[in-house]
Amino acid sequence: MSAHRRAPLSLRAETRRQLGRRRTLWIFGILLALPVIFVAAFALDSGRRPNGTRMVDLATGGSANFTIFVLLVSAELLLAIVAALLAGDPVPAEASWASLRYLLTAPVTRARLLTSKLLVGVGSLVAAVLLLAGWSLLVGWVAYGSAGFLVPGGGSIPWSELWPRLLVIVGYLLVSALPVAAIAFWVGVRTDTPLAAVGGAVIVLIVSGILDSIDALGTWRDALLGHYSRAWMDLLAPGPLDAVDWTDLRRGALWATLYTIVFVALGYRRFARKDILS
């Protein structure tokens, strides 16, 4: 048992490496600071009242609205960058430290090395998304109380109906971030530069967003990365949960799953054939 615990590239060992890196500590530190920064920013407007038709107008209406606001402004870029960092950085980082070939002589198979790093990266992403949602709820509750969700345009959703929706929202945000993580993972096994892996995935997301704004593409836009990134907003419509239109949510989850499977498979295929020189 002791020998197993000390085995190189075990999930426990890789988790310790991931959590001990300065990059990871900065990520979680920023996620913890973000809701507090928003509260401080809203406090500058002492006469602010929760009313209006935008989420930012209702953000101070209670912990529910505050949490949804934080997730809304974080989901499309911040969480994508976090996903790219956590999943795309580990392999090229090892290569840049000239330690990758030594890990493979442990002896450790290439598939095991990639699987260990990918699982820990995705696990860290799950922890990051849960941390942002949970910490936002707590900060919002302390700052603005525990009122139910105020729907932009009128109406409200009580906590008894909001909890299952919030769980689905967090799950959908995680699934939506996985394609960016998968693309960063694929680029990461092709390069020895961590910045290339992270930047490559983020650039793909940005270009997809630009193409998504071109109406002439018609239904081709449905296949673009991030096209359904805000489909989770359908869960915030007043009324019973079974009345929610799940069409875009299903499509978004399916496209995200397809992107993730394809690019993870390409990453394994590329790494299996790659000459490890660093």
Q: State mean pLDDT over 125-144.
A: 95
Percent of the chain predicted with pLDDT > 90: 49
In DSSP terms, which residues pair with 156 in a beta bridge?
150
Task: Give the pTM.
Answer: 0.87
Render pLDDT for 71-88 as a digit per residue (tens, 0 to 9).
999 988 899 999 999 988
Residue 236 in any domain: the answer is: yes
Residue 213 in any domain: the answer is: yes
User: Would you state the torsion angle of the CA atoms of residues 118, 119, 124, 125, taken in this order, to the nearest 10 degrees?
Assistant: 70
Render pLDDT for 212-247 as a digit per residue (tens, 0 to 9).
999 899 989 999 998 999 999 999 988 777 788 899
Closest CA to 259 of 190, 201, 217: 201
- Strand (E) positions, the chain? 149-150, 156-157
Residue 202 in any domain: the answer is: yes
Render pLDDT for 16-31 as a digit per residue (tens, 0 to 9).
877 778 888 999 999 9
Residue 152 in any domain: the answer is: yes
Closest CA to 90 of 114, 126, 107: 114
Please give the pLDDT value at position 108.
Answer: 58
Mean pLDDT across the chain, nearest whole number? 85
- Integer Cα distance of 229 and 175 in angstroms: 10
Render pLDDT for 40-63 as a digit per residue (tens, 0 to 9).
998 887 666 666 678 888 888 889
More reliable by pLDDT, 176 or 241: 176
Residue 108 in any domain: the answer is: yes
DSSP for 9-31? Answer: T-HHHHHHHHHHSHHHHHHHHHH
Please give the pLDDT value at position 29.
Answer: 94
The pLDDT-based confidence of 275 (bands split at 50, 70, 90) is low
Residue 110 in any domain: the answer is: yes
- Integer Cα distance of 203 and 183 in angstroms: 11
DSSP 3-state of 214: coil
Please give the pLDDT value at position 1.
Answer: 39
- Strand (E) positions, 139-261? 149-150, 156-157
Total domains in the chain come to 1
The pLDDT-based confidence of 140 (bands split at 50, 70, 90) is very high
In the numeric block, the tokens 């499309």 are attached to 76
Please give the pLDDT value at position 278.
Answer: 46
- Integer Cα distance of 138 and 125 in angstroms: 20
Contact by Cβ (8 Å): 7, 13: yes
Reply yes or no on whether the pLDDT at 165 is more than 70. Answer: yes
Percent of the chain predicted with pLDDT > 70: 86
Please give the pLDDT value at position 45.
Answer: 75
Closest CA to 166 of 197, 198, 202, 129: 129
Please give the pLDDT value at position 48.
Answer: 65
- Integer Cα distance of 54 and 44 in angstroms: 19
The pLDDT-based confidence of 193 (bands split at 50, 70, 90) is confident
Structural domain for 159, as ranges = 2-273
User: Would you state the torsion angle of the CA atoms of residues 18, 22, 23, 28, taken in this order, to the nearest 10 degrees?
Assistant: 80
Please give the pLDDT value at position 243.
Answer: 81
Q: How many helices (H) and strands (E) does the chain have?
A: 12, 2
Closest CA to 146 of 71, 65, 70: 65
Pairing assessment for the beta strands 156-157 and 149-150 based on DSSP bridges: antiparallel
The pLDDT-based confidence of 3 (bands split at 50, 70, 90) is very low
Residue 209 in any domain: the answer is: yes
Residue 278 in any domain: the answer is: no
Both tokens of 85, joined, read 């960092």
Please give the pLDDT value at position 116.
Answer: 84
- Integer Cα distance of 259 and 178 in angstroms: 8
- Integer Cα distance of 235 and 12 in angstroms: 37
